[in-house]
Amino acid sequence: MARRVVTLYIDDITGGEGADVVTHTFSLDGIGYEIDLGIDSFQGLLDVLGPYFGAARRIGTNTNRRRNAGKGQAAVLRPSPARVRAWASTHGIEVNTRGRLSTEVLARYEATHSL
């Protein structure tokens, strides 16, 4: 018997689904938040918060993160492997179901999802 697993990514604001939906994280007053947004919703978030980001001061991360900056920062900035694999399969790009994703596949994903 064959099985096909389909992962749908839903925009938390519009309720729409699509390959452009990406998980974004942010924090406010020490509380971390995560939200799944498509390109248009994310641009809306940036439009609203842009003036605040422009006036705010960036602060460093905690010392444990700095010590592991290579791994920690990459994990924060890169999309989840499951999301990249789902995107790749919808675009006819072959990827292994396990293991590290190639830099080429990651670059193609990031190129289509950059704002």
75-98 pLDDT, tens per residue? 446 678 888 888 888 888 888 888
Query: Is 73 a member of any domain?
Result: yes
Per-residue pLDDT, 73 = 46
Domain co-membership, 54 together with 9:
yes
Between CA 72 and CA 69 the distance in angstroms is: 5
| Structural domain boundaries, residue 41 | 1-59
pTM for the whole thing? 0.50
Is residue 94 classed as helix, strand or coil in its secondary structure? Answer: coil
> Do residue 9 and residue 51 come from a single domain?
yes
| pLDDT tens profile 29-75 | 888 899 999 999 999 999 998 898 889 888 876 545 444 444 444 44
> Which H helix or E strand runs over 36?
strand 31-37
Where is pLDDT greater, at 53 or 114?
A: 53
- Would you state the pLDDT for residue 15? 96
Per-residue pLDDT, 74:
44
**pLDDT value of residue 80:** 82
76 shares a domain with 41: no
Look at residue 16 and tell me whether its pLDDT is greater than 80: yes
Q: How far apart are CA 63 and CA 36, in angstroms?
A: 28
